[in-house]
Amino acid sequence: MTAQGYLALGLGQRVADLTEQLRLMEEMGTGPRDVLVVGALGELRLNDGAPKLVAVVPGGDGTWLQIDTPSGPQRIQALSAASPLVRQLRECGDGDIEDIDLGGRAVEVTILRVQ
């Protein structure tokens, strides 16, 4: 296969991936969530640390976003439903406490709120 063929193959796969992510975004809807699923915004506490905000979105890659809110800037991490954290907390809601494995470490996660 030529270099152009590899490039075309890679670009074709990227288009297919983006098309699938757009489809998932459309299916996600905009209503509130009460458990950690695609479309949810969750506030979590890991091992008694500071609260952490995560948005579960198709294609979430761990990127940290800075959002300006009336109470000041907020940092939110965009995660996919397949991420190690979200995968182990799937279907957890407000007040749930789960012991999970993150990178070979045992971590206690408290779900402070899901919306």
Fold adopted by 31-114: Chitinase A; domain 3 (3.10.50)
Domain boundaries, the chain: 1-29, 31-114
Distance CA 106, CA 34 (A): 25
- Residue 84 amino acid letter: P
- How far apart are the C-alpha atoms of 3 and 33, rounded to whole Å? 46
Closest alpha carbon to 97 in 107, 111, 80, 115: 111
| Residues 40/92, Cβ–Cβ less than 8 Å | no
The pLDDT > 90 percentage for the chain reads: 52
Global pTM value: 0.75
Say what the pLDDT of residue 45 is: 97
CA–CA distance, 41 with 19 (Å, rounded to integer): 23
Closest residue by Cα to residue 84 from 31, 48, 114, 46: 46
3-state SS, residue 64: strand
Spell out the residues 6+ positions from residue 93 whose beta carbon is closer than 8 angstroms to its own: 34, 35, 36, 111, 114
**Would the pLDDT of 21 be above 90?**
no
Q: What is the pLDDT of residues 82-104, one digit of tens each?
A: 899 999 998 899 999 999 999 99
pLDDT at 19 over 90: no
